[in-house]
Amino acid sequence: MKYQIDITEDIFEARLSEKITFSDLDDFRELVRHMVTSRSNSNIVDLSDVEFIDSAGLGMLLLVRDEISKTSSHLTLKSPQGQVMRMFTVARFDQMFDIVQG
């Protein structure tokens, strides 16, 4: 997993790319730490360039959701595509997350 962070005004956006798997756990925890310490009201995880996510990756997104909820901030998952969207459908992430396209 690779990621880029962009913080503007009160919006924290993380653009992820490649794959999100168990081997990315340490990097993902670092990303979550940055997100929480930014204290932004709106947090966006852009998944448009993520090609693959496994069950551990889904668990990591649940981790970020739980950490952000402790700060009363809002979390949005943006533009999941292909296999990632299929995994979200199977895991019913549409009922647990705010998911937007575009």
Mean pLDDT of 25-45: 95
Asked if pLDDT for residue 102 goes beyond 90, the answer is no
How confident is the model at residue 72, as a pLDDT?
Answer: 85
43-96 pLDDT, tens digit each? 999 999 999 999 999 999 999 999 999 988 999 999 999 999 999 999 999 999
How confident is the model at residue 50, as a pLDDT?
Answer: 98
Q: Which two three-digit tokens encode residue 74?
A: 């809002």
Mean pLDDT of 11-37: 96
How confident is the model at residue 3, as a pLDDT?
Answer: 96
Topology of domain 2-100, per CATH? Transcription Regulator spoIIAA (3.30.750)
pTM, two decimals, is 0.94
3-state secondary structure of 63: helix
Q: Which two three-digit tokens encode residue 9?
A: 């005004």
Nearest to 48 by CA among 87, 69, 78: 78
HSE-CB at 5 with a 13 A cutoff on CA atoms is 15
